[in-house]
Amino acid sequence: MKPSALAGKHLVLYFYPKDETPGCTKEACAFRDAWKELEQANVVLVGLSTDSLESHKKFAENHKLPFHLVSDEDGAIAKAYGVPSTLGRLARQTIVIGPDGKVKKIYRSVDVSQHAAEIVADVKS
């Protein structure tokens, strides 16, 4: 993704533990279902976990995910944002970065059933 693709947009980085697990699948599908609203709000959504690119590809195909999934296999991106990992799995946290490039909000605790709606509300406010 080129930096120019982010110009004037919100960047939402959502970190999650593992592809194809119940909570992570529920969260990803909720973001998928909110995709039109997120696009209309000028959001670039990126999901990150320590899973491989191949795992991400299958996960995205299985659930028709329209957004980017990034493999943070060594946890370097998560570490840069203060997202902890346990036994190689990232904590479920989300970072919302505004169009100005500044962190707008950090979710250190996430309820997967409500999270996509929270993000939509945040980027629209």
Which pLDDT value is given to residue 38?
95
Which pLDDT value is given to residue 8?
83
Q: What are the per-10-residue average pLDDT scores of the chain (125 residues)?
A: 74 96 96 96 95 97 97 95 91 94 92 92 87
Which pLDDT value is given to residue 6?
76
- The arrangement of secondary structure in 8-124, i.e. its CATH architecture, is 3-Layer(aba) Sandwich (3.40)
- Tell me the C-alpha distance between 70 and 26, whole Å: 18
What own/partner pairs with CB < 8 Å and gap ≥ 24 does 29-34 have?
29/63, 30/112, 30/113, 30/115, 30/116, 30/117, 31/65, 31/67, 31/116, 31/119, 32/63, 32/64, 32/65, 32/66, 32/67, 33/116, 34/116, 34/117, 34/119, 34/120
Which pLDDT value is given to residue 36?
96
- pTM for the model stands at 0.92
24 is catalytic: yes
Residue extents of the structural domains in the chain: 8-124
Q: How many CB atoms lie within 10 A of CB 7?
A: 9
Catalytic site residue from 12, 13, 24, 83: 24
